[in-house]
Amino acid sequence: MSYSPKLAAALSGATLRQLVHWRKASAGRGAVLVPEISETRPILYSFRDVVALRTCMKLRNDASLQKIRRALDTLRADLREREHLSAYQLVADGSTIYLVEPGQATDLVHRTANVVIHELIDVLRPFYRDGRHIPDLLQPRDHVTVDPAVRGGIPVIEGTRVPYDEVAALLRDGVPVERISDYFPSVTASAALDAVDFADYVDSYEPLLIP
């Protein structure tokens, strides 16, 4: 399963403009994140990419993009860590960014080690960025879930394999919510409302026109 830039943005909290910027190298530094599935049009992100993007968005609450790029350069060039960015736990405290490992944390900006961090942030949980509520990655709505093992990670109605956007499309086409079960017997009215609410949220990330 792959995610379009709009869906990747909605699930991560990044803007479409940020995704474009982060795909590019800058001033001798590597890109923040190049899409794992396709870095050329059509651009497609993986589930791991979305997890990594959420990490970057949480870091942006406490660190500048310059620090994030410096930290990633240290991670990749100095520490020679070559796994996908989603494999690492990165935490910012306002002054630096740490790579957190069992028993220690390495300062990726000032290149010191063995700094104890007592509170870690779960990248999958909801958070706020620029006043926008970024939902839980695995359950963006009460009746909408994301599971890489179900349809490759596309958001579906909880307990089913029904994609959220197919349900939302019916409601937008005028099908009454109480008639959704005629089309998808496993989808309740409340689940259908959650599907269209999530679809509205995803659509709030308008496509970015690139010349």
Confidence of residue 119 (pLDDT cuts 50, 70, 90): low
Q: How far is CA 53 from CA 10, 167, 181, in A?
A: 11, 27, 35
Q: How many CB atoms lie within 10 A of CB 59?
A: 22
Asked whether 75 and 111 are in contact (CB, 8 A), the reply is: no
**Taking all residues of the chain, what is their mean pLDDT, rounded to a whole number?**
90
Task: Say whether pLDDT at 48 is over 50.
Answer: yes
The closest of 165, 127, 159, 126 to 145, measured between CA atoms, is 159
Token digits for 75? 């991670």
Token digits for 5? 């830039």
Residue carrying the six token digits 């019916």: 170
- What percentage of residues in the chain have a pLDDT greater than 90? 67
Average pLDDT over residues 108-135: 77
Confidence of residue 50 (pLDDT cuts 50, 70, 90): very high
Q: What is the pLDDT of residue 211?
A: 47
Average pLDDT over residues 33-61: 94
